[in-house]
Amino acid sequence: MMKRYLTLVFTAILLLSPTAYGQEGFSYQLTMIGNPALTGSAGNGMLRMSYMNHYPGNGYNLHSVFVSCDGFFPVLHGGAGFYISDEYPGGIITNLKGGFSYSYFLRASQDLYINAGLSASFYHRGYNFSGALLPDQIDPLLGGIYPSSEVLAAEGRTVFDLTSGFLVIYRGFSGGFSVKHLTQPDPSNHDDAGTSLARTLLVHASLEVSTRGKLRFYPAMMAETGDDIFSAGAGVSAKRENFSIDAFVLGGGDRNIDLQTGFSFSAANIKLFYSYRFNIFSGETLMPFSLLHHTGLVFSLYNVDKRKIIKTINFPDL
């Protein structure tokens, strides 16, 4: 009964707060959703596929998948690509999102490069209440389930969204910012300003540090802020030849401090990555210890002669 109650609480949070769950935030494995200026900045054509399991081991049934393909195209003077993601929170809500991104590459000086990107996307939120369990259906003593007096509308909604971003690359440094949800779309059926996706500002940066040997370090940071939203994090990825490990500490206005650790392994043109996020300190008593499993594959589709055309980024495996 307690497990059903907690599942109901998390579902209510998802319905009432569109920023409480999803692929918001920043990860170099979800590049175009975070900042469209990163589109094609790896140079080679990249196909990325990943899977997330949120709050594993608690039976909340919160999953999401992400697929993207991008690369540099000389005829476009920049990078272009598309992505699609599907979030499946608890079996009731489906958040389907897809879009196209373009980034213009400008060489400002010998070592300074500036990218400007724009992403146009759709956001569809659908509902399936066939398996929902509402409070008035539960008998607190007998555990019986009764017909609910509340009727929930299952009609979905599709909205249009825009994201813009900029990226600066100077030698081993790369950093940028993006403004997400420029159109402030409302994927719910409430037509209420409180359910619209608020504009958020994302700032990120990373640095490639090489040692005399084959070991390389990639310190990285990010911060995101918006209406009643703030999160920030910093960490480092260490890479030697085809293997890397990383650690990232995150915190926010909800007074939660999380740690994310992971690794990646490359062979030929394929990379496998995995990361696990867990809660160190919680300002919320409902916050589970295990927060996220994130795993996926990255395929290199074709090579670009980076020396003659563009300055590219070696992404941290964070």
Residue-wise pLDDT for 152-176, tens only, equals 556 678 899 999 999 999 988 999 9
Residue-wise pLDDT for 225-262, tens only, equals 988 788 999 999 999 989 999 999 999 877 889 999 99
Residue-wise pLDDT for 17-76, tens only, equals 433 334 444 677 888 888 999 999 887 889 999 999 888 877 777 889 999 999 999 899
Q: Which domains does the chain have, with CATH numbers?
A: 2-302 (2.40.160.40)
Q: What are 251-258's contacts with CB under 8 Å, separation 24+?
A: 253/228, 253/229, 254/283, 254/284, 255/281, 255/282, 255/283, 255/284, 256/281, 256/282, 256/283, 256/284, 256/287, 257/281, 258/291
Query: Residue 312 has what pLDDT?
Result: 76
